Chains A and B, each alone.
Chain A
Amino acid sequence: DTGVSQNPRHKITKRGQNVTFRCDPISEHNRLYWYRQTLGQGPEFLTYFQNEAQLEKSRLLSDRFSAERPKGSFSTLEIQRTEQGDSAMYLCASSSYGGAPSAGANVLTFGAGSRLTVL
């Protein structure tokens, strides 16, 4: 297993265009997370899947953002009608934790990220 894979690594687009990012988690991991990281800041949580179910979404995830994980494996994050404020690194992480809330065992493995630049 080569870890969490994200594509594309870099995307430059014009304002108003749609973009889609893909995340391939570690194969046996049932949990998948999307984060956004802007320059000089820590990653901020966007959304979370357990298998194919999207169980939590941040208020940061506006109506222009949609995420899917159709078969409980890879996930996509689509941004419609991009704005300059969407420019950021989009990070995907996965984990295999499935127990009770002694959550220290929920160790997230991150991908290298997809950097979006909106002109």
Chain B
Amino acid sequence: AQSVTQLGSHVSVSEGALVLLRCNYSSSVPPYLFWYVQYPNQGLQLLLKYTSAATLVKGINGFEAEFKKSETSFHLTKPSAHMSDAAEYFCAVIELQGAQKLVFGQGTRLTINP
């Protein structure tokens, strides 16, 4: 079964600094990986997805993620943090059988310091 692990339940960066949110996956087959963002009292919004095409995936709001098979990682980055990036971020992998449902990590809360 596929799964993801997010390292760090809480990350705090200064405005303008690099954002790095870590996600490692476990899968016996090539995975399909996603990053979602959740703002307070809202649902989840898709940031980007990896579907075995380019290993560097660009998403919305200036975020990108790089798929590294050798490290089983799919870390999310943004060169310069903005106050509006403060939110909860979830990494997810899709199960390839049955419901093809998303399996989420436990989330990382990103705080931006002025």
Contacts and interface: CB of A to CB of B under 8 A. Distances in A.
Interface stretch (A14-22, A35-43, A63-71, A73-81): A35-43
Interface stretch (B39-47, B68-76, B79-87): B39-47
A43 B105 CA distance: 8
A101 B50 CA distance: 15
Interface residues of B, number: 29
Interface in B3-32: 9, 32
Contacts, number: 70
A101 B97 contact: yes
Interface residues of A, number: 28
A112 B42 contact: yes
Nearest to A55: B99
Interface in A90-114: 91, 93, 97, 101-113
Contacts of B104: 42-44
Contacts of B112: none
Nearest to B50: A104
Nearest to B97: A101
Given A48-B99, A103-B94, A42 B46 contact: no
Nearest to A101: B96
Interface of B: 9, 32, 36, 41-46, 49-52, 90, 92, 94-107
Given A97-B100, A104-B50, 16 more contacts: A40-B106, A42-B90, A42-B104, A42-B106, A45-B99, A48-B99, A55-B98, A93-B44, A103-B95, A103-B100, A104-B51, A106-B100, A107-B49, A108-B102, A110-B45, A112-B42
